[in-house]
A and B are shown apart, each in its own frame.
Chain A
Amino acid sequence: MHHSIEIEHLSFSYPDGHPALRDVSLHIAPGEKVALVGPNGAGKSTFLLHLNGILPAPAAKLPVTGQGQVTVCGLPVGQKTLGRVRAAVGLVFQNPDDQLFSPTVFDDVAFGPLYQGLDRADVERRVTSALAAVRMDGYARRVSHHLSAGEKKRIAIATVLSMEPEILALDEPTAGLDPRARRALINLLRDLPMTMLVSTHDLALVRDLLPRMVIMDEGKIVADGPTDGLMKDGELLEAHGLERPA
């Protein structure tokens, strides 16, 4: 059996020479729920973009330098496997206004399945079940702009659930949500069965939902272990810009 995510010695620098990832290695088993925490600018978002082959931009010929190997669901991420990799990893971006780019909710949730080449009936079935999974049935014909932040966030998750991915990678899912919307989102994520990698500053969410915690700082993994254990180490958390939840 293969791992869901296997990262070996991944390094990456942005075109301005700023190194974002330095020799990162990480293995995540199928079904595991992992938190990715660390201060702003630690490289968490950059790391998530590698899971989908968005970085290092292979087609754009940017002078970025990346080394190492990323493997998801047994597929080495590269130019040839991009389509399958992107179907296997559902990436939910931090700002739902970036993720929801279609005129209606339906069009947005149908986008992924359409590009997977499914036929009309399948696309509609996927949209219905994805909206049901995030408890937003009946929103298909709504216009994304008129939704609240919590609703947008859940629709953004539905847009990747409709692709039926094996792995869900979320970037700051609870940022900007009010306590009720945040609670609803946590309950929703708890019910989802897939492998999960959540980049967040919300340590209470980590404690409630994610049994394994990876701390990243300055592009390196500085700690990786059970959440319960790492949460007790106040000094470690503080050293990397984190704070133990009350």
Chain B
Amino acid sequence: MHLHFLDPYQHRASPVHALDARVKFVLTLAFILTASLTPVAAWPVYILLLAVILSVEILSGLGVGYVLKRSALALSFVLAALPVIFTIQGQTLFTLPIGAWTLTASVEGLERFVSVALKSWLSVQAAIVLAASTRFPELLQAMRAVGIPRLLAAMFGLMWRYLFVLVDEAMRLMRARAARSGRGTEAGSRSGGSVAWRARVAGGMAGSLFLRAFERSDRIYVAMLSRGYDGEVRALPLPPFTGAGRLSLAAGLAFLGLLLIFGIAFWG
């Protein structure tokens, strides 16, 4: 048995999926950069960015619903931005007395908070579309193409490869525990053991998982050595860049650049 749910890639026949991974990677980074550099409360720019990402979602065949469900991940970042409502000075919106303290919410603070929330929501959506429309090996190639060191890219690759193996291993351990977690037939006997005992079992499982991972890394290294690995990370040269790829990259970057200039010029 093995698990597929960790792999975010969703296969569809769409122009977004077919686009060169390097173009997608750079444009996603540019989109996130544009979203984060756009000044606070530049609402029209946010709406345009949202329109862009929604169109890409529809074009990719993933569907808006799929991406929006996963973009709930951004909520945790939004929570971290909550205090700015009260820490930024400005026109008073309301006051909140907590014991001896009074928290004063300002209009400027609220604007900042909503901007941060929108920015992180947009960025997370872009990242989700990238991960769902690009196979991981192609993403690794794209990382190499934009100059991420080969060793780092190779480490990402190994991590991705063995994450699945490790999850499978953990599932097997848990299944083995579940298979032996029976209940006594005597009436009134309590099954499951004490909390401390169960904690000890869980600790043992974590330790055994660590040891297995450690031993596996040793065996992988030996397998690499036996095929000539000498500490240097080598890879084939990247495939050439097509005219269509170049064109979509230039068009995308130009559009995002315009949006950013527009935002900074009017609201900066």
Interface residues of A (CB under 8 A from B): 49, 52, 54, 83, 86-87, 89, 91, 93, 95, 97-104, 107, 110-112, 114-116, 120, 123, 143-146, 159-160, 163
Contacts and interface: CB of A to CB of B under 8 A. Distances in A.
Contact of B161 (A54, A83, A144): A144
A163 B220 contact: no
B2 to A, nearest CB: 7
B60 to A, nearest CB: 20
A145 B222 CA distance: 20
Interface stretch (B12-20, B101-109, B226-234, B254-262): B226-234
B226 A97 contact: no
Interface in B124-173: 135-137, 140, 157-158, 160-162, 164-165
- Kindly state the interface size class of chain B when it binds its partner: 20 to 34
Contacts of B140: 103
A9 to B, nearest CB: 24
A103 B161 contact: yes
A59 to B, nearest CB: 10
Interface of B: 2, 4, 135-137, 140, 157-158, 160-162, 164-165, 216, 219-220, 222-230, 234-237
Nearest to B160: A103
11 contacts: A87-B228, A98-B219, A103-B157, A111-B224, A111-B228, A111-B229, A120-B236, A123-B236, A145-B2, A145-B164, A160-B227
A54 B2 contact: no
A99 B220 CA distance: 6
Contacts, number: 79
Contact of B219 (A89, A93, A110, A115): A93
Contacts of A89: 226
Nearest to A55: B222
Contact of B137 (A87, A91, A104, A115): A104
Contacts of A116: 228
Contacts of B136: 103, 143
B227 A86 contact: yes
Contacts of B158: 101
